[in-house]
A and B are shown apart, each in its own frame.
Chain A
């Protein structure tokens, strides 16, 4: 999957495009880990181009949350589409990973 990276002063914004599934979740996890290892403790996932997410995709988000928290940072979601929001709501994971409407909102939350 294609993941666009935007490194800012206060955070890294990752923009995964396509379907976030069992096949692609590993790539996102690896990218988050690299970003954290590179010193960016706050990671914002811009999900505007993520069309679909399954349990493995959700697992990658939680794994990423853990990695950032361990490093003393945070992982935040922005611009999630309808399917991703539904998955988050139905699994009640939106209580752990709150989806923000825009990347700016997510950044401001800190």
Chain B
């Protein structure tokens, strides 16, 4: 436990020094006369202090689990290999390895591409093959989450394994993980993702040794290790519970939204109603909607409220039909009473009351004439008719199903496990374009969850779990801070504008110890694994993080599409990929120019030497970080082990 103690000492030190620094920055050293750069800089620094604080808290409970007990016999397991458009032989290689797992199980290829050649290959390999049922036609497919949800209702194992098409499992995968489920509260065991087609230098930052290691172990300590989409084992019962709770919540939300929205549409219908009968019907429906909403707020069961609402609308409809029928009868009696020429076979008009009652049939309801009412009636129901399956166990609220699913499991009180052992070997993107698309998708998914189900407010989570989810989401906001960190030294070197009041002893005495402590914290936490790539990319991919935040916000708040693409696994021609990193290249150019200008200004006596040298060091640091982009551009794909290092 001495390592944990050391971690806690360093984490405490880092947090105390960080708070000390940032408080001094806010209170004593913001250069308000240049607020337009001074305020963004102090905000960016505050962001970083919060970030490192959350990292320190993650490490506070970093746990290395002992090996789990061996699983008992007789557990039923379904192994899912998910695919959309990956090459058949790649999918098959994974499916065969999945088939050969030692613990008894069934293996399924979940083919969202519904390719006949893959179906045939799966049959030859002796594994199951599943495609979407007819219910999904014309409805939202929800990408991979939909694929998994579809398969969950066509299989019945107590446990399920999720594998991406390129993640080849180790034969021991189930033997090493199923034992954790002897704790009935455990819903998920996540194992690391490791990539075999990555050279030692890892120019694209594919391996995530800090995440699939100290960070997940730290989250695990807070019971907040989360699902990462592949290489994980899940308990079906937990997912199903999630689906049912989600169904109730989604239905409740949809009904409330429909009832709330009905106020404005019904008011509009009311204004347009020339006919007093139409107006009266709209008034009736409005009052029904109002009282339904009040009943829901009072905690009445959804089923009762929606049923009562439907009945009220039917009654309103029946009343309209009733007055129509009464008028018809009066008309017919009037004709019958008048000596008029009638068709000989017609005779006296006889109208069957029972037959007329058929006019109240919902399909013919006179309220159907009011489109707004019709849409409302359809929405205030519990059948979730817009979805292929009313129950969606795997969360569909985000383009990345994994984190949202885990957070909901935690909110329901389930436990999760991070098992730190490579039990599957996968393939990482080999070109910059694919890598950027993938990171963008992860970041968008995370921000979508953040904006829709804020971990600080989701009921049911423990405080530590809230912080752990916040830590991951917070880290994706780094793009904005990065822009400030790139811009501030350029602005000083070129124009002499100071964001801080002075580069004095006061500054260094607070800044340097904090920086030193946080670097030591990383060093102790990383335990010798190399985390530099990750640090570089968290700054160097700033345009990706900004775009992800921007598009996720536009999607969540304004319903704009994300421009989402499935990550291709096959290498594409990398020509012209410099366009993908144009902002970074421009930033590098600007940094170099600023350095030259800064030196010239100092040489000519326009700038003080301390500020100049501090900013030159800063520029150098930025350039070293961004240099990873050049390495990534020069990378031509994995060429095998002999050229490693």
Residues of A that sit less than 8 Å from B by CB: 19, 21-24, 26, 52, 54-56, 58-59, 62-63, 65-66, 69-70, 72, 74, 87, 90-93, 95-96, 98, 109
Contact = CB atoms under 8 A, between A and B. Distances in A.
B358 A91 contact: yes
- Most A-side CB within 10 Å, residue of B275, B334, B343, B369: B369
Contacts of A90: 355, 358
B328 A62 contact: yes
29 contacts: A21-B366, A21-B368, A21-B369, A22-B277, A22-B366, A22-B367, A22-B370, A23-B275, A23-B369, A26-B275, A54-B366, A54-B369, A55-B320, A55-B324, A55-B364, A56-B277, A56-B320, A59-B325, A62-B332, A63-B331, A70-B334, A72-B341, A87-B364, A92-B350, A92-B352, A93-B355, A95-B349, A95-B350, A98-B343
Contacts of A66: 331-332, 334-335
Nearest to A72: B340
B281 interface: yes
Contact of B281 (A22, A58, A63): A22
Interface of B: 273-275, 277-278, 281, 320-321, 324-325, 327-328, 331-332, 334-335, 338, 340-341, 343, 346, 349-352, 355-356, 358-360, 364-370
B220 to A, nearest CB: 61
- Most B-side CB within 10 Å, residue of A62, A70, A74: A62
A77 B185 CA distance: 70
B335 A69 contact: yes
A23 B356 CA distance: 20
A75 to B, nearest CB: 10
Contact of A58 (B328, B340, B352, B360): B328
Given A55-B324, A55-B359, A90-B355, A62 B331 contact: yes
Contacts of A109: 343
Given A22-B277, A59-B324, A66-B335, A96 B351 contact: yes
A96 B346 contact: yes
Given A65-B331, A91-B358, A93-B351, 5 more contacts: A22-B275, A22-B281, A23-B369, A56-B277, A70-B335
Contacts of B338: 69-70
A47 to B, nearest CB: 16
Contacts of A98: 343, 346
Contact of A59 (B328, B335, B349): B328
Nearest to B272: A23
A92 B369 contact: no
Given A62-B328, A66-B335, A96-B332, A23 B359 contact: no
Contacts of B359: 54-55, 58, 87, 91
Nearest to B334: A66
Contacts of B274: 26
A94 to B, nearest CB: 10
A18 B356 CA distance: 23
Contacts of B367: 22
Given A23-B275, A91-B358, A56 B324 contact: yes
A22 B278 contact: yes
Nearest to A21: B369
A90 B340 CA distance: 27
A24 B366 CA distance: 11
Contacts of A72: 340-341
Nearest to A26: B275
Given A55-B321, A56-B320, A91 B332 contact: no
Contacts of B335: 65-66, 69-70
A99 to B, nearest CB: 13
A22 B273 CA distance: 10
Contacts of A92: 350-352, 355
B374 to A, nearest CB: 11
A65 B342 CA distance: 11
The 5 A-B residue pairs with the shortest CB-CB distance in the complex, in nearest-first order: A21-B369, A66-B331, A55-B359, A55-B324, A59-B324
B340 A56 contact: no
A63 to B, nearest CB: 5
Contacts of B341: 72, 74
A57 to B, nearest CB: 9
A67 to B, nearest CB: 9
Nearest to A19: B369
A74 B340 CA distance: 10
Contacts of B356: 55, 91
B357 to A, nearest CB: 9
Contacts of B365: 54
Contact of A91 (B281, B327, B355, B369): B355
Nearest to A96: B349
A92 B349 CA distance: 10
B278 A23 contact: yes
B172 to A, nearest CB: 65
Contacts of A56: 277, 320, 324, 366, 369
Contacts of B340: 69-70, 72
A17 B370 CA distance: 17
A109 B40 CA distance: 87
B147 to A, nearest CB: 40
A55 B325 contact: yes
Given A87-B359, A92-B352, A58 B369 contact: no
A95 B334 contact: no
B369 A24 contact: yes
Contacts of A59: 324-325, 327-328
